[in-house]
């Protein structure tokens, strides 16, 4: 009720501002407003905290998240490899509530009415917003792997590409597999969430096999022509550490599965495994399409890089893996956190009738474990380019590790600790 | 709609030319790109052996010199030599100034 009043007040204010010009070229000032954030992952949790922090509490924030706690995808491959536990990658939303005053609602958003600026919730009722941030992550395109459409099939042939129960279940399958068994991992065509993730997973499963089930094998069925990230470093790790264990097969797109026999169906061939792990192709979380946002290739949300706002739906900002990425930009948790800060800064300005920052910068670092201790990184910096209206990678900046090393193993865990705090503490 | 776009573009242009000097949040926004590793507002959590340093309250000249040394290859690094090259001199200065001002 109070929020509705605030919204009406803002609407009146916005109408007055419109007469003086769209953004009004106004001076500094902190205006309130109600922002609803959908999804409490790397993007959503960060934007919720930064909206509260940077507006000094002036902007009201409601975060809708279906899970009771945050569970991190980065570092989850170490749980699958057996050297970390779920507790190590789970963080509470309590600080967002108590320290930052974010209203956290555990629920599922069913629909967005972008005309009325409301969302409807599974538990019932609607919620009004002045601006909406969607950080829905990805949904899987089950139609692309028909055998995986039934829920029962999805519980046997796992993806474990959203950290949570699937992470635990995949670990259990690997523990139960006999020595001498074959673990096969199907990688979808790019773009997909976390480009180096599959290759890291292959390394960590191979590391587990090497120590505990030395007769077992890892087969990577990659739909792509080649390794998608840090190729020389991964290839070197496979040759140095996992020769005879990891078998990498390019151009091996999995088109279907035979669930009972754990068989992957390729274009001209079949591959039977003891543990079959299929990461299906994915697209922006379903709510993006439901809201009527413009999608590119019917998959990823087209956004304005100055505001992270949908190009066809004013007032709806989209961040994280769900967006159509800028050139060379990976779909990563780190990048979602960076999108969130661009969105938070822009939303605070827009609510105050000011223009957004005309020169946003985002950067990415991604650490991959090639065994329980050694890590390799890739980094990049992306600056807004007015001519192409997108963020472009800075030439000469960024790069990869010179070689795998234990120091970066410590940095990777320090990164996780700090980014989780940057989102949630 | 077209008029609105034009007005918006003019506003953006005006904001763009004045931004480096006038936007009080430019340093804040740039420094936020460092927070993933160095903590919100530069208040990094201790991570033994990682070398991830807190930047809050560090004098501007100290941070700026480190960033320039990373960029020029004068200070050994695992990753910062690659990241520092992605920012302009003016941006590095804004970042160092923002962190220096954090208590």
pLDDT tens string A241-253? 999 999 999 999 9
Structure token pair of residue A234: 């991964």
Element (H, E) at A385: strand A375-385
pLDDT at A93 over 60: yes
Sign, CA torsion A184/A67/A344/A111: positive
| pLDDT for the residue numbered B2 | 40
Q: Summarize the confidence of residues B34-43 as an average pLDDT.
A: 98
DSSP 8-state class, residue B60 = H
| A384 part of contact set with chain B, CB < 8 Å | no
pLDDT at A238 over 50: yes
pLDDT at B86 over 60: yes
Residues in Cβ contact with B86 at an 8 Å cutoff, skipping those fewer than 6 apart: A361, A363, A380, A381, A382, A383, A394, A397, A398
pLDDT tens string A109-127? 999 999 999 999 999 999 9
Mutation to test the B interface, candidates A333, A357, A360, A409, most B Cβ within 10 Å: A357
The band of A217, judged by pLDDT with boundaries at 50, 70 and 90, is very high
Domain ranges for chain A, please list them: 1-11+30-66+107-141+283-358, 145-282
- Compare A48 and B17 and report the one with higher pLDDT: A48
CATH number of A1-11+30-66+107-141+283-358: 3.50.50.60
Answer left, alpha or beta for residue A25, where phi above 0 means left and psi between -120 and 50 means alpha: left
Q: Which of A30, A28, A23 is nearest to A51 (CA)?
A: A30
pLDDT at A303 over 60: yes
| pLDDT for the residue numbered B50 | 87
Q: A371: cis peptide before it, omega within 30°?
A: no
pLDDT at B15 over 80: no
| pLDDT for the residue numbered B22 | 58
Structure token pair of residue A379: 């980094």
Across the interface, do A381 and B87 touch by the CB < 8 Å criterion?
A: yes
| pLDDT for the residue numbered A135 | 98
Q: Summarize the confidence of residues A274-299 as an average pLDDT.
A: 98
| A392 part of contact set with chain B, CB < 8 Å | no
From A193-202, B16-25, B35-44, B72-81, the region with the lowest mean pLDDT: B16-25
- Compare B9 and A159 and report the one with higher pLDDT: A159
pLDDT tens string A381-405? 999 999 999 999 999 999 999 999 9
| pLDDT for the residue numbered A67 | 98
With beta carbons less than 8 A apart as the criterion, state whether A157 and A259 touch. yes
CB atoms under 10 Å from CB of B90, counted, come to: 11
Q: What is the nearest CA distance from A404 to chain B, expressed in angstroms? A: 11
pLDDT at A9 over 70: no
pLDDT at A87 over 60: yes
| A57 part of contact set with chain B, CB < 8 Å | no
Mutation to test the A interface, candidates B17, B48, B86, most A Cβ within 10 Å: B86
Q: Summarize the confidence of residues A80-95 as an average pLDDT.
A: 98
| pLDDT for the residue numbered A113 | 98
Cα gap A249→A148, rounded to integer Å: 22
User: Chain-wide mean pLDDT for chain B?
Assistant: 84
Cα gap A113→A402, rounded to integer Å: 50
* Interior/surface letters A58-87, b for 16+ CB within 10 angstroms, e for the rest: bbbbbbbbeeeebbbbbbbbbbbbbbbebe
Domain A145-282 falls under CATH 3.90.550.10: no
End-to-end CA distance of chain A: 29
pLDDT at B6 over 90: no
Cα gap A258→A308, rounded to integer Å: 41
The band of A176, judged by pLDDT with boundaries at 50, 70 and 90, is very high
pLDDT tens string A178-205? 999 999 999 999 999 999 999 999 999 9
- Chain A residues whose CB is inside 8 A of the B24 CB are 28
| pLDDT for the residue numbered B23 | 73
Q: Summarize the confidence of residues A61-67 as an average pLDDT.
A: 98
pLDDT at A260 over 70: yes
Phi and psi of A68, rounded to 5°? Answer: -70, -25
- Domains of chain B and CATH, by start: 24-100 (1.10.760.10)
Across the interface, do A422 and B39 touch by the CB < 8 Å criterion?
A: yes
Across the interface, do B12 and A413 touch by the CB < 8 Å criterion?
A: no
Across the interface, do B85 and A380 touch by the CB < 8 Å criterion?
A: no
Structure token pair of residue A308: 């992270």
Apex A140 CA angle, A139 and A141, nearest 5: 120
Q: Summarize the confidence of residues A14-33 as an average pLDDT.
A: 45
**Percent of chain A with pLDDT strictly greater than 70:** 93
pLDDT at A234 over 90: yes
Q: How many beta-carbon contacts under 8 Å exist across A and B?
A: 146
Across the interface, do B19 and A405 touch by the CB < 8 Å criterion?
A: no
Torsion from C-alpha of A41, A43, A47, A50, nearest 10 degrees: 90
| A338 part of contact set with chain B, CB < 8 Å | yes
- pTM here is 0.91
User: Chain-wide mean pLDDT for chain A?
Assistant: 93
Q: What is the nearest CA distance from A184 to chain B, expressed in angstroms? A: 32
Q: Summarize the confidence of residues A78-92 as an average pLDDT.
A: 98
Structure token pair of residue A90: 């789970």
Structure token pair of residue A103: 């209203």
pLDDT at A15 over 80: no
């Amino acid at each position: 009720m109070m929020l509705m009043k605030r919204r009406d007040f803002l609407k009146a204010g916005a109408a007055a501002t419109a007469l003086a010009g769209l953004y009004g070229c106004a001076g500094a000032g902190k205006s309130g407003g109600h922002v609803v954030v959908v999804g409490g992952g790397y993007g959503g949790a960060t934007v919720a905290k930064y909206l509260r922090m940077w507006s000094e509490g002036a902007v009201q924030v409601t975060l809708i998240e279906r899970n009771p706690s945050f569970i991190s995808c980065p570092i989850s491959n170490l749980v699958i490899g057996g050297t970390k536990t779920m507790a190590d990658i789970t963080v509470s939303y309590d600080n967002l509530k108590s320290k930052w005053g974010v209203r956290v609602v555990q629920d599922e958003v069913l629909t967005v009415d972008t005309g009325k600026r409301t969302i409807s919730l599974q538990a019932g009722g609607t919620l009004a917003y002045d601006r909406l941030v969607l950080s829905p992550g990805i949904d899987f395109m089950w139609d692309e792997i028909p055998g995986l459409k039934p829920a029962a099939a999805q519980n046997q042939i796992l993806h474990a590409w959203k950290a949570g129960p699937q992470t635990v279940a995949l670990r259990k399958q690997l523990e139960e597999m006999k020595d001498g068994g074959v673990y096969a991992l199907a990688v979808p065509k790019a773009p997909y969430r976390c480009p180096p993730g599959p290759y890291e997973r292959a390394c960590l499963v191979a590391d587990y096999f090497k120590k505990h089930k030395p007769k077992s094998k890892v087969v990577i069925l990659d739909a792509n022509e080649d390794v998608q990230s840090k190729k020389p470093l991964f290839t070197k790790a496979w040759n140095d550490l996992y020769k005879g264990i990891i078998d990498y097969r390019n151009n091996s797109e999995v088109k279907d599965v035979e669930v009972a026999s754990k068989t992957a169906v390729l274009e001209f061939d079949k591959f039977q495994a003891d543990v079959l792990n299929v990461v299906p192709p994915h697209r922006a979380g379903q709510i993006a399409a439901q809201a009527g946002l413009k999608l590119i290739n019917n998959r990823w949300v087209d956004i304005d890089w100055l505001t992270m706002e949908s190009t066809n739906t004013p007032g709806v900002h989209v961040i994280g893996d769900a967006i159509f990425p800028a050139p060379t930009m990976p779909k990563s948790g780190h990048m979602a956190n960076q999108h969130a800060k661009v969105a938070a800064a822009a939303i605070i300005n827009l609510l105050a009738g000011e223009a957004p920052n005309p020169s946003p910068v985002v950067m990415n670092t991604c650490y991959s474990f090639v065994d329980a201790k050694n890590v390799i990184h890739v980094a990049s910096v992306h600056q807004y380019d007015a001519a192409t209206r997108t963020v472009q990678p800075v030439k000469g900046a960024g790069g990869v590790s010179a070689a795998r090393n234990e120091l970066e193993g410590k940095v990777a865990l320090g990164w996780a600790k700090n980014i989780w705090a940057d989102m949630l503490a | 709609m077209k008029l609105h776009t034009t007005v918006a573009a003019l506003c953006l242009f005006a904001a763009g030319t004045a931004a480096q000097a006038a936007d009080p949040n430019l340093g804040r926004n740039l420094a936020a790109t460092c927070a993933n590793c160095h903590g919100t507002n530069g208040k990094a959590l201790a991570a033994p052996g990682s070398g991830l340093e807190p930047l809050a309250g560090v004098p501007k000249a100290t941070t700026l010199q480190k960033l320039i040394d990373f960029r020029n290859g004068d200070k050994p690094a695992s990753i910062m030599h690659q990241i520092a090259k992605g920012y302009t001199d003016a941006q590095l200065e804004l970042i160092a100034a923002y962190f220096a001002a954090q208590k």
